[in-house]
């Protein structure tokens, strides 16, 4: 799983990038074999005015099923990343259930004898 972090924030300290990458890897390690790339986009929506203005968008690229996109909004970059990762874990859990369920159903159909 390759992680890329893009930030359009003036107030992000340099160590934040390494911490964010470690947090992404820790949070998504369960699905690391199925994810090819994770892109993190951080953006300050309304500048220095404050409020819920830091948006984090995660784009999770999977092996076969395309991309999963989650977004979150918070007053700081860490909070936005934390919320976006929580949403991503939920979406990946549903995605994983759906795809493993289909694989199991196909395997069961193959094992059934033909009714002729």
* Cβ(89)–Cβ(70) below 8 Å: no
- 66-109 confidence digits (pLDDT tens): 899 999 999 888 999 999 999 999 999 998 888 776 656 666 66
Domain count, the chain: 1
pLDDT exceeds 90 at position 49: no
Which residue range(s) make up the domain with 62? 2-111
What is the total residue count of the chain?
116
Buried residues in 60-86 as b, exposed as e (16+ CB within 10 A): bbbeeeeebbbebebeebbebbbbbbe
Q: What CATH number has the domain bearing residue 93?
A: 3.30.160.100
- Distance, in Å, from the CA atom of 24 to the CA atom of 40, rounded to the nearest integer, reads 9
Q: Is residue 83 part of a domain?
A: yes
Q: Is residue 101 part of a domain?
A: yes
The answer for residues whose C-beta is within 8 angstroms of residue 80's C-beta and 6 or more apart is 42, 54, 55, 56, 72, 73, 74
Q: Is residue 6 part of a domain?
A: yes
pLDDT at res. 61:
92
Q: Is residue 116 part of a domain?
A: no
Q: Is residue 77 part of a domain?
A: yes
Question: Average model confidence (pLDDT) for the chain?
Answer: 83
pTM over 0.85: no
Q: 């994983």: which residue's tokens?
A: 96
Instruction: Determine the average pLDDT of the residues in 20-31.
Output: 92
- Distance, in Å, from the CA atom of 74 to the CA atom of 67, rounded to the nearest integer, reads 23
The answer for residues whose C-beta is within 8 angstroms of residue 72's C-beta and 6 or more apart is 55, 56, 80, 81, 82, 83, 84, 86, 87
């Amino acid at each position: 799983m390759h992680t890329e972090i893009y930030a359009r924030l003036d107030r992000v300290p340099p160590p934040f990038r390494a911490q964010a990458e470690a947090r992404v890897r820790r949070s998504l390690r369960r699905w690391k074999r199925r994810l090819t790339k994770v892109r993190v986009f951080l953006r300050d929506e309304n500048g220095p005015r404050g409020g819920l203005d830091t948006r984090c968008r995660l784009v999770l690229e999977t092996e076969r099923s395309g991309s999963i996109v989650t977004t979150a909004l918070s007053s700081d970059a860490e909070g936005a990343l934390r919320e976006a990762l929580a949403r991503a874990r939920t979406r990946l859990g549903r995605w994983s259930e759906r795809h493993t369920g289909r694989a199991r159903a196909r395997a069961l159909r193959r094992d059934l004898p033909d009714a002729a």
